[in-house]
Amino acid sequence: MGIQIPEGSFLMVYRWTLDGDAEPQTTAMGFDVPFDPDLDTTTQFAYDHITDEDSLSDDQAMLGGWTFLGVTGYKQTSGGLEVFEVTLPIESGSASTAGITTNTCALIQKRTGLSGPGNRGRLYVPPFGVLETQVSQNGFYTGTQYADLTNRLNHWIAEWEAESFVPVLFHSDGGPATPITSLTYAPQVATQRRRMRG
């Protein structure tokens, strides 16, 4: 059974595409926002956060051939699930095409203040900013590549905090979301292509 979005919580789905790939690639993050904004405002914030300069997916973060397509936001309300989309494509600012295969992805580990596997999560990010020359044959990032990814992730998190976004884990039983206390890149790439399609 998949996750359930609790009433009042938001799910943001981010979408990218790569030249020659027939399907977009996606990743998603759950949020609680204490002041309960409307869905269209929250989705626009989410778009601005990830595309801001030095954030996770500004134009300079993406290698050649990649395009950030936009964000689809979902909010669970007493009347049902609301949906809003921000579609403002941003093309890569880099002419380089030396990215790793799209069978590979960058993995961000989610941690909360609670123990147990149900209180940990993973965020699979398409490899739009991962250079082939900066990943070892065993899939480990070089120090330079890992530092750049981490700096962009920290900027992205700072953008949420500026708008009082609280990243959360959702659960399959529909219970209250659990606040995420840390997000860190795994030092090794992952292979989860099916999880990113949609």
pTM confidence score: 0.91
SS (H, E, C) 23-61: CCEEEEEEEECCCCCCHHHHHHHHHHHHHCCCCCCCHHH
In a domain, 105, yes or no: yes
Looking at residue 178, what is its pLDDT?
A: 92
In a domain, 1, yes or no: no
pLDDT band, very low/low/confident/very high, at 66 (cuts 50, 70, 90): very high
In a domain, 145, yes or no: yes
What's the rounded Cα separation, in Å, for the pair 169 and 28? 11
Query: In this predicted model, what pLDDT tens digit does every residue of 80-103 receive, in sequence order?
Result: 999 999 999 999 988 777 788 888
Tell me the average pLDDT of the chain: 89
The domain total for the chain is: 1
Query: In this predicted model, what pLDDT tens digit does every residue of 18-63 receive, in sequence order?
Result: 998 888 999 999 999 888 789 999 999 999 999 999 999 999 999 9
Q: Return the higher-pLDDT residue of 161 and 94.
A: 161
